[in-house]
Amino acid sequence: MKKIIYYTDTPQLGGAENQLFLLSKFLNKEKFLPILIISNYSHFNKYISKFEKEGIKTYKINVLHKHDPRHFFQLRDIIKKEKPDLIHLQLWNPASNRYAFLASDKTPIITTEHDPFKLSYLKKQIKKRSLKKVAKIITVSEENKKLMTNLYPEIEEKIEIVHNGIDTTLWKNQILRFTEEERDEIKENLFRAKKDTFIILTVAELHERKGQKYLINAIPEVITKYPNVKFVFAGDGKEKENYQKQIKNLNIERNAILIGKQSNIAKIFKSSDLFVLPSLREAFGLVNVEAMLTPLAVIASIKGGIPEIVKDKETGILVQSKSSKALSNAILKLISNPEKRLEMAKNGYLRASKFFDAKIMSEKHEEIYNKTIENAERKIDI
């Protein structure tokens, strides 16, 4: 059995951390022994307990922040104790996990670049030195691979693409257990809408890069033709107050609502009729997969890994970012054509089930692990 250490120095939990959990959960435990190393922040307790419930060994290292040098010393001691066959680092930003490269000694390293972007000159030089120690680099989309290759052309041969995934069985089970009564309750009490209101959903952090302001600006044109439509924005973030003001200034408060971050997200999707993600920058856009599994037709920006998920005119409509007009046109097109909308939803469900299951993601990682460990053992023998 091969021992894999997973490490991240992230101070906050997000999509990358959820992918790490799913990868660990579905890893073949007869062949691999996953071990989690993570900072001992109190707000990580529930997250860490998910690993422990799956029987995954965890180490909580005592640090105050991501720059705390105790990362290095505690990591070094754990690696010496566990003697892993491989260390897999989750890079939540391209300059993260710097202490792990120092503490790893001669253990092979794999990194996942969840959201690569251009660094300052000094950080880029440090990054280049770190990448020399890396055996394989995983990117979550073709677009991320292109970006990494442009930034660091010398490491192109090290890059493997593994798309993110979701627990499709769990998602489908939540959808199957969902009742019409629950749907009516959510529409009435949470969405502040009538039972027959057409719901257009967006699920994303309320942040400029997610492009919600362009969708809000598209609402007046949509409701001029279809007044019985309501736009629901799920998520929290620093732009919340600005978006509330924008909705008020446009006098569309009856047709738009911010509902904050929600825990029963599958039910939120199932209570909606169409999904829109107007991102300006998106590493992958896994929320589109959730929409497709619901199933819902999707309207999304041609950004990052989104076109690898949403197939234009097949599972939804792709539009240029920062264009309220493009968004309103796409929305009006799908509202007016329910047959096409349902066809796209069906196609999306089949595509999401086939390509974006977390089990598939884990299997692809296992292949990379085996090759990397074999290559490392071969070098030792030589």
Which structure tokens are listed for 116?
Answer: 């690569």
Low-confidence ranges of the chain (pLDDT < 50): none
Report how far residue 189's alpha carbon sits from residue 166's, in angstroms, rounded to the nearest whole number.
28
What does the domain layout of the chain look like in residue ranges? 2-165+358-381, 168-355
* Nearest residue to 246 (alpha-carbon basis) of 218, 223, 221, 217: 217
3-class secondary structure, 259? strand
For residue 28, what pLDDT is reported?
A: 96
For residue 222, what pLDDT is reported?
A: 98
**CATH of the structural domain 2-165+358-381, one choice from 3.40.50.2000, 3.30.365.10, 3.40.50.620, 3.60.110.10:** 3.40.50.2000
pTM value?
0.90
For residue 123, what pLDDT is reported?
A: 87
Q: Pick left, alpha or beta for residue 319 (phi over 0 → left; psi -120 to 50 → alpha; otherwise beta).
A: beta
Residue range 290-324, pLDDT digits in tens: 999 999 999 999 998 999 999 999 999 999 999 99
Q: Under a CB-based contact definition with an 8 Å cutoff, are residues 212 and 242 in contact?
A: no
For residue 381, what pLDDT is reported?
A: 57
CB neighbour class for 160 (10 Å; exposed up to 12, middle 13-18, buried from 19): middle
Same-fold call for 2-165+358-381 versus 168-355: yes
What CATH number does the domain located at 168-355 have? 3.40.50.2000
* Nearest residue to 238 (alpha-carbon basis) of 260, 205, 282, 211: 205
For residue 317, what pLDDT is reported?
A: 98
For residue 314, what pLDDT is reported?
A: 97
**Range list of β-strands (E), the chain:** 2-7, 32-39, 57-61, 86-91, 109-113, 134-139, 159-161, 198-203, 229-234, 256-260, 274-277, 298-301, 316-319
Residue range 115-124, pLDDT digits in tens: 888 889 888 8
* Nearest residue to 356 (alpha-carbon basis) of 298, 310, 296: 310
Which structure tokens are listed for 374?
Answer: 């074999």
Residue range 229-238, pLDDT digits in tens: 999 999 999 9
